[in-house]
């Protein structure tokens, strides 16, 4: 591994990847694209015809209409922003069709003034923008399996995305409704057929809750909550209620399906974790990752994403020798709180089989755990909040495979009773 400065300074003898032969064979004759006018203007741009395989991966639960998820192709993206058409989706009963001119948000319950807001009215409030990640609590849950799954990284870890969200701070709307002092919780309800509803502590709602209307500069996509959704930065996806229609101010949680039956975790002690809202520190190497192939020894740019619901990413360390040595990656600036953070580091592969790993630390001091540490803490009934270090083994032929740990024998994880059921959450 090497610092970026050195990589750039290597010149002819080292990092040179261009081909001198091709340069000398270059002809000055104009390519076809220079000989006739190009295509006309378009009303709404779409990706190049050569990028058609960069799509989400929709997976549906056949028993419940509209229940399932589509995975963001993280392994095919760069930077930190997820294009709107590639933001992951998680719906419990499909995407509702909502006319923004009639949609209303009701704020009621333990308030002095019950209020209803039209979308047009919310658009006249002082708007705020915030770039943050959104991650489903069930993201990466296939990593609890006994055997490391070999799907592309985005199909295992792609229930996380990052956007610039713009909307009205929830604190502003709450202040207008004047909650009573015992109003410690909010019940947020969506206008979908599932009637998604969850309990949210008032403290979080006031701290940085956002009533989002825009996503990356344009109005929300229908699948991401059009015309209005809740954004709770750094908190489990399920609390970010889409198609938001109601905020009921209450003095205790409602114990809804998605905070009792689902999104709770049975621990080895027999107790269950509930309201585990904050997403843990996590990182994922994407270049390279499972299913890719390194064409041969030489220079590669390791690149991936790190994030934490507890604050900013303080550092990401990479190991290219199965965890024996670690070295700090370069973080793309600016590093934002509760936001995807891009890390990169040049690496010279010598052609020998090895294991690549990334480990993130956040500003709260939390360090991403090894898989065995996470399994020891959470037990074998773990299903949500998987955030352990991911290992990719590079084979002699440059093939990249998913392994657990260093892949030297613990990958069979013999204590596990059986593969968990990747059902729906
Ligand atoms: N109304 C409503 N809100 C919802 C959901 C839903 O099914 N209905 N799914 C939740 C879950 S589990 C997640 S992970 C996020 C997904 O948001 P996205 O589809 O915009 O990525 O929305 C949450 N908000
Ligand atoms: Mo979720």
Question: Which residue, by CA, sits nearest to atom 15 of ligand 1?
Answer: 237
Question: Which residue, by CA, sits nearest to atom 12 of ligand 1?
Answer: 238
Question: Which residue, by CA, sits nearest to atom 24 of ligand 1?
Answer: 241
Same domain, yes or no, for 313 and 248? no
Between the CA of 106 and the centroid of ligand 1 the distance, in Å, is: 19
Q: For the range 261-267, what are the long-range contacts, defined as Cβ-Cβ under 8 Å and sequence gap of 24 or more?
A: 262/238, 262/425, 263/137, 263/236, 263/238, 263/384, 263/425, 264/384, 265/378, 265/381, 265/382, 265/383, 265/384, 265/385, 266/379, 266/381, 267/378, 267/379, 267/381
Q: How far apart are CA 281 and CA 239, in angstroms?
A: 18
Reported as a single tens digit per residue, the pLDDT across 72-114 is: 999 999 999 999 999 999 999 999 999 999 999 999 999 999 9
Same domain, yes or no, for 341 and 364? yes
Pairing outcome for strands 128-135 and 160-169? antiparallel
Reported as a single tens digit per residue, the pLDDT across 200-255 is: 999 999 999 999 999 999 999 999 999 999 999 999 999 999 999 999 999 999 99
Q: Determine the average pLDDT of the residues in 10-36.
A: 80
Q: Ligand 1, from 74, 162, 240: best to mutate by most atoms within 8 Å of Cβ? A: 240
Whole-structure pTM value: 0.94
Choose one of 214, 246, 271: the last residue of a domain.
271
* CATH code of residue 360: 2.60.40.650
Does 108 reside within a domain?
yes
For ligand 1, whether the C-beta of 243 sits within 6 Å is yes
Residue 179 in tokens: 């909650």
Same domain, yes or no, for 110 and 226? yes
Between the CA of 236 and the centroid of ligand 2 the distance, in Å, is: 7
Same domain, yes or no, for 161 and 184? yes
Instruction: Quote the domain boundaries for residue 331.
Output: 282-403
Q: Ligand 1, from 66, 91, 228: best to mutate by most atoms within 8 Å of Cβ? A: 91
Same domain, yes or no, for 257 and 390? no
Spatial CA neighbour of 228 closest among 281, 183, 286, 166: 166
Number of residues in the chain: 425
Same domain, yes or no, for 255 and 323? no
For ligand 1, whether the C-beta of 89 sits within 6 Å is yes
Same domain, yes or no, for 290 and 146? no
Same domain, yes or no, for 341 and 397? yes
Does 182 reside within a domain?
yes
Question: Which residue, by CA, sits nearest to atom 21 of ligand 1?
Answer: 89
Residue 10's pLDDT is 52
Does 93 reside within a domain?
no
Same domain, yes or no, for 263 and 320? no
How crowded is residue 326: how many other Cβ atoms within 10 Å of its Cβ? 17
Does 133 reside within a domain?
yes
Residue 380's pLDDT is 82
Alpha helical stretches, state H, 81-150: 119-122
Same domain, yes or no, for 149 and 238? yes
Does 213 reside within a domain?
yes
Number of structural domains found in the chain:
2
- Average pLDDT value for the chain: 93
Question: Which residue, by CA, sits nearest to atom 8 of ligand 1?
Answer: 196
Spatial CA neighbour of 305 closest among 323, 286, 281: 286
For ligand 1, whether the C-beta of 224 sits within 6 Å is yes
Residue 190's pLDDT is 98
Residue 323's pLDDT is 97
Choose one of 271, 295, 313: the last residue of a domain.
271
Question: Which residue, by CA, sits nearest to atom 20 of ligand 1?
Answer: 224
Q: Determine the average pLDDT of the residues in 354-380.
A: 96
Q: How far apart are CA 276 and CA 186, in angstroms?
A: 16
Between the CA of 138 and the centroid of ligand 1 the distance, in Å, is: 12
* CATH code of residue 212: 3.90.420.10
Residue 14's pLDDT is 56
Same domain, yes or no, for 299 and 266? no
Instruction: Give the strand order in the sheet containing 89-91.
Output: 57-60, 68-71, 89-91
Choose one of 246, 271, 296: the last residue of a domain.
271
Q: Please report the atom of ligand 1 found closest to the CA of residue 136.
A: 14
Does 367 reside within a domain?
yes
Residue 320 in tokens: 């290219």
For ligand 1, whether the C-beta of 238 sits within 6 Å is yes
Between the CA of 259 and the centroid of ligand 2 the distance, in Å, is: 11
Does 43 reside within a domain?
no
Q: Kindly state the DSSP code that residue 373 receives in the 8-state scheme.
A: H
Q: Do the beta carbons of residue 243 and residue 190 sit within 8 Å?
A: yes
Q: How far apart are CA 236 and CA 234, in angstroms?
A: 7
Residue 15 has pLDDT above 50, yes or no: yes
Does 70 reside within a domain?
no
Same domain, yes or no, for 210 and 320? no
């Amino acid at each position: 591994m090497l610092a970026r400065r050195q990589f750039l300074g290597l010149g002819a003898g080292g990092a040179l990847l261009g081909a001198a032969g091709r340069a000398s064979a270059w002809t000055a004759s104009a390519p076809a694209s220079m000989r006739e006018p190009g295509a006309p203007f378009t009303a709404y741009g779409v990706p190049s015809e050569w990028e058609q395989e960069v799509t989400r991966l929709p997976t549906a639960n056949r028993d419940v209409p509209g229940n399932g998820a589509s995975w963001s192709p993280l392994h095919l993206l760069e930077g930190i922003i997820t294009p709107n058409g590639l933001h992951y989706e998680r719906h419990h009963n499909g995407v509702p069709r909502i006319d923004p001119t009639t949609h209303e948000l009701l704020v009621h319950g333990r308030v002095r003034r019950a209020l209803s807001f039209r979308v047009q009215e919310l658009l006249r409030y002082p708007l705020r923008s915030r770039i943050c990640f959104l991650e489903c609590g069930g993201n990466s849950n296939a990593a609890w399996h006994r055997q490391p799954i070999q799907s592309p990284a985005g199909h295992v870890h792609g229930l996380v995305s990052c956007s610039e969200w713009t909307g009205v701070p929830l604190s502003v709307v709450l202040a207008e409704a004047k909650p009573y002092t015992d109003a410690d919780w909010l019940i947020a309800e969506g206008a979908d057929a599932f009637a998604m509803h969850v309990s949210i502590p008032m403290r979080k709602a006031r701290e940085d809750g956002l009533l989002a209307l825009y996503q990356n500069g344009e109005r929300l996509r229908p699948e991401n909550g059009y015309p209005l959704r809740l954004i709770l930065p750094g908190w489990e996806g399920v609390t970010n209620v889409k198609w938001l229609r109601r905020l009921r101010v209450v003095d205790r949680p409602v114990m809804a399906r998605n905070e009792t039956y689902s999104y709770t975790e049975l621990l080895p002690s027999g107790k269950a974790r509930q309201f585990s809202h904050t997403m843990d520190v996590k990182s994922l190497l994407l270049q390279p990752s499972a299913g890719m192939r390194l064409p041969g020894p030489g220079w590669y740019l390791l690149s991936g994403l790190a994030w934490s619901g507890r604050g900013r990413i303080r550092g990401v360390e990479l190991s290219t020798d199965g965890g024996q040595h670690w070295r700090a990656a370069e973080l793309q600036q600016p590093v934002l709180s509760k936001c995807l953070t891009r890390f990169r580091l040049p690496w010279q592969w010598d052609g020998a089989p090895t294991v690549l790993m990334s480990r993130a630390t956040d500003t709260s001091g939390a360090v991403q755990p090894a898989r065995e540490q996470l399994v020891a803490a959470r037990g074998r009934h773990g299903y949500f909040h998987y955030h352990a270090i991911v290992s990719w083994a590079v084979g002699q032929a440059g093939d990249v495979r998913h392994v657990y740990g260093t892949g030297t024998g613990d990958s069979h994880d013999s204590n596990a009773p059986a593969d968990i059921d990747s059902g729906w959450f």
